[in-house]
Amino acid sequence: MRVLSCIKQVAVLGEEVEIDPGGRDVDPDYLERSLNEWDACALEEALRIVEAVGDRAENEVVAVTAGDEESEEALRRCLAMGADRAKRVELDPGSSGPSDPLTVAKALARAIEGESADLVLCGVQSSDSVQAATGTMLAELLGLARTAVVTKVSLDPAAGKAMAHRELEGGLIDVVEVDLPALLTIQTGINEPRYATLRAIKQANLKEIEVLAGPSESAGAFRVRRMFVPDKGASAELLGSDPAEVAKRVSEIITARLS
């Protein structure tokens, strides 16, 4: 069995923000990068599925990303967690703004075509863009059956089927039977991603990451026209910075509102 796990090294904005001179993205100096939380859960699920099958010599997890060289850090973390191989498709949006999901899906498809995957797992969304679209677009490009926002999965490879729980608004669960091979987008809470041991991290740093050329230029799903820091609008009235004073004010407000 081969499970492909798509991951993204997301960008996290701290307290300060400055828009890039091009006006279409945040100045990269203000962004920290890390493995997307949803993708860590998807990778963990991929590892658990393959480990349950048994023999790791014939069953593997392959971590895939579309990004610049720096995003190999996130792939190294996947390798340290237990992925057998890692592939990166070159994709650098430069200063044209955050990537659109179609461009990313086309890039990921290049790394997955030819892998004969039994299952492809993606995170539901990335924490920096929250588009919840790349996985479902990728399923379409690969011609795979799919289910989005999955909180539980069990495989029956002999029957060529999987059972998935789709988590709807309000917490209602839709139980879905999906034909294999399939692509599932994984919701947080499905598992608790494992930590990598120091030894595994060292070994991961020695592994080779396969790098593929990105797709040729084509129309994406959107063009970022401008990015801006929104007006605060009617922002909160600040209660001060002294804990005792804030506690007193909070208590007064609560008493007034509940009476």
Which residue from 67, 86, 61 is spatially nearest to 76, judged by alpha carbons?
Answer: 86
d(CA 96, CA 156): 44
Q: How far is CA 4 from the centre of its chain?
A: 13
**Comparison of 69 and 222: residue with beta carbon closer to other proteins:** 222
Least distance to other proteins, CB of residue 57, Å = 31
Residue numbers 114-143 binding other proteins by CB under 8 A: 124, 127-137, 139-141
Which residue from 99, 97, 78 is spatially nearest to 87, judged by alpha carbons?
Answer: 78
CB atoms within 10 A of CB 226: 10
Least distance to other proteins, CB of residue 9, Å = 14
Residue numbers 143-172 binding other proteins by CB under 8 A: 145-149, 163-172
Least distance to other proteins, CB of residue 217, Å = 15
Residue numbers 70-89 binding other proteins by CB under 8 A: none
- Using the contact rule CB under 8 A, the part of the chain among 15-23, 43-51, 70-78, 206-214 near other proteins is 15-23
**Comparison of 54 and 160: residue with beta carbon closer to other proteins:** 160
- Using the contact rule CB under 8 A, the part of the chain among 59-67, 81-89, 97-105, 201-209 near other proteins is 97-105
95, 154, 197, 251: which one binds other proteins (CB under 8 A): 251
Q: Alpha helix (H) ranges present in 54-98? A: 72-81
Residue 67 in the binding site for other proteins (CB under 8 A) = no
SS3 220: coil
**Comparison of 5 and 131: residue with beta carbon closer to other proteins:** 131
Residue 178 in the binding site for other proteins (CB under 8 A) = yes
91: Cα within 13 Å, side-chain hemisphere? 29
Residue numbers 208-247 binding other proteins by CB under 8 A: 219, 221-230, 232-233, 235-241, 243-244, 246-247
d(CA 1, CA 214): 27
Least distance to other proteins, CB of residue 84, Å = 27
Distances (CA, A) of 147 to 16, 43, 151: 37, 17, 11
**Cα-based torsion angle of the residue sequence 211, 132, 228, 28 in order, rounded to the nearest 10 degrees:** -20
Residue 111 in the binding site for other proteins (CB under 8 A) = no
